[in-house]
Each structure stands twice: as structure tokens, then as C-alpha cells.
């Protein structure tokens, strides 16, 4: 049971940092965002009901996501540079095979990375849900509970994000 703001802060600070880090991909920025979230809650602590922990977790999660997405929308973050290793060890390419096949596999991988990066920039929430369920293997129920959504809503977002990425990959291939 949470009795006051100090206990609330200690209980949910790391949760807020982890949520922000999944979105902004930087530990220091995630800490800054979490502290901004809790400074907001400190200013408005008279409106908090410390007896309902699930409600507090949902509020922290929602506020952290909003702060993180606002941070990602800042113009200084739009010009980031990203270096993607052509072969991250995901697949070992058989060097005895046809060179054309190797080139096509590398191009396909680059197109998928590009579509995933577009999804991250254009719809960060769907990106977060897709990565957490498909890459990290979290269940739809776990992700939905943390984000304040139903399991069905999480599955719908996954489906829409996958469809959206397939369309983007088709557009990328048409332009090449």
C-alpha cells in the first residue's frame, strides 16, 4: 500500500524509466523524462489517490509515454543518425551461394529495417507494442495491462502495424 508521495516515487520511478527507455532508446534521457513525470505528479499530488496502485501505475505509464513521445517529436531528435550493421548475425549467409541471392537478401533486410524505422518515427506506440510482443516475446495481456489497453486492442495494433509495414516495403521496392 502506498501511503505518501515519497513511497509512490520510490515504487514507480524505475517503472517510469523503463517505459521511457523503450521509447527513446537512451538511459539518460529516460531518467530525465521520468523525473519530469514525477515533478508533474509532485505538483499535482493533491489530486492523486494513493490507495489505488493500479490506477497510479496506469497514470505513470500514460504520462511517461506522453512525455517520451513529446520528446521524440522535438526537432532536435528528427535528424538522428543510425548505423545498421549489414549482417547482425541474424542470418549466416552461405558464401558459396549465388552472389545475386546474397545481394537480394541484403536489400530485403535493408527494406525491412527502413520500414521498421518509419513505423518508429510515425507511430511510436504501435512500434513499441510490435517490438515488445514480437521481439521481446511479451504476451498481449502483459503489454495491454501496462499500457492500459485490452488484449484485443494490442493484437489489432500489431496487425495494423504489420500491414502498414508491408505496404511501406512495397512502396520502397517500387521506388527502387
Whether 148 is covered by a domain: the verdict is yes
Tens-place pLDDT, residues 111-135: 888 888 898 999 999 999 998 998 8
Within this chain, do residues 169 and 107 fall inside the same structural domain, yes or no? yes
From residue 1, how far is each of 8, 77, 96, 110 by CA, in Å? 9, 39, 63, 49
Within this chain, do residues 11 and 69 fall inside the same structural domain, yes or no? yes
Write down the pLDDT at residue 137: 87
Write down the pLDDT at residue 127: 92
Within this chain, do residues 160 and 128 fall inside the same structural domain, yes or no? yes
Within this chain, do residues 73 and 123 fall inside the same structural domain, yes or no? no
Whether 55 is covered by a domain: the verdict is yes
Whether 68 is covered by a domain: the verdict is yes
Q: Which of 21, 43, 77 is the last residue of a domain?
A: 77
Q: How far is it, in rounded angstroms, from Cα 109 to Cα 96?
A: 20
Whether 90 is covered by a domain: the verdict is no
| Cell, residue 72 | 521524440
Q: How far is it, in rounded angstroms, from Cα 55 to Cα 48?
A: 9
In terms of residue numbers, what domain contains 126?
99-175
Per-residue pLDDT in tens (0 to 9) along the chain, 176 residues: 567 888 888 889 999 999 999 988 889 999 999 999 999 999 988 888 888 888 889 999 999 999 988 888 875 655 555 555 555 555 555 555 667 777 778 888 888 888 888 989 999 999 999 989 988 888 999 999 988 899 999 999 999 999 999 999 888 888 76
Query: Is 110 within 8 Å of 85 (Cβ atoms)?
Result: no
Q: How far is it, in rounded angstroms, from Cα 175 to Cα 169?
A: 10
Within this chain, do residues 109 and 156 fall inside the same structural domain, yes or no? yes
Within this chain, do residues 167 and 111 fall inside the same structural domain, yes or no? yes
Within this chain, do residues 34 and 67 fall inside the same structural domain, yes or no? yes
Count of domains for the chain? 2
Whether 58 is covered by a domain: the verdict is yes
Q: How far is it, in rounded angstroms, from Cα 176 to Cα 161?
A: 23
Q: Which of 47, 77, 107 is the last residue of a domain?
A: 77
Q: Which residue has the cell 489497453?
A: 149
Q: What is the CATH number of the domain that holds 122?
A: 1.10.10
| Entry pTM | 0.45
Write down the pLDDT at residue 33: 93
Write down the pLDDT at residue 14: 94
Write down the pLDDT at residue 91: 54
Query: Is 11 within 8 Å of 44 (Cβ atoms)?
Result: no
* Residues 6+ away with beta carbon under 8 Å from 14: none
Whether 86 is covered by a domain: the verdict is no
Within this chain, do residues 41 and 73 fall inside the same structural domain, yes or no? yes
Write down the pLDDT at residue 84: 55
Write down the pLDDT at residue 13: 93
Whether 130 is covered by a domain: the verdict is yes
Within this chain, do residues 106 and 73 fall inside the same structural domain, yes or no? no
φ/ψ of residue 113, rounded to 5: -60, -40
Whether 42 is covered by a domain: the verdict is yes
Query: Is 162 within 8 Å of 119 (Cβ atoms)?
Result: no
Amino acid at each position: 500500500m502506498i501511503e505518501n508521495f515519497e513511497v509512490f516515487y520510490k515504487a514507480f520511478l524505475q517503472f517510469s524509466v523503463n517505459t521511457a527507455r523503450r521509447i527513446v532508446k537512451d538511459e539518460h534521457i529516460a531518467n530525465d523524462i521520468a523525473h519530469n513525470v514525477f515533478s508533474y505528479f509532485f505538483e499535482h499530488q493533491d489530486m492523486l489517490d494513493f490507495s489505488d496502485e493500479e490506477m497510479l501505475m496506469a497514470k505513470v505509464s500514460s504520462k511517461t509515454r506522453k512525455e517520451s513521445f513529446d520528446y521524440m517529436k522535438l526537432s532536435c531528435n528528427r535528424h538522428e543518425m543510425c548505423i545498421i550493421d549489414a549482417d547482425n548475425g541474424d542470418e549466416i549467409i552461405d558464401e558459396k551461394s549465388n552472389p545475386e541471392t546474397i545481394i537480394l537478401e541484403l536489400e530485403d533486410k535493408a527494406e525491412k529495417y527502413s520500414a521498421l524505422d518509419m513505423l518508429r518515427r510515425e507511430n511510436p506506440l504501435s512500434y513499441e507494442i510490435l517490438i515488445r510482443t514480437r521481439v521481446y516475446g511479451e504476451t498481449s495481456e502483459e503489454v495491454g495491462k501496462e499500457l492500459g489497453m485490452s488484449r484485443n486492442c494490442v493484437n489489432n495494433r500489431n496487425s495494423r502495424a504489420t500491414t502498414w509495414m508491408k505496404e511501406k516495403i512495397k512502396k520502397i521496392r517500387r521506388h527502387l
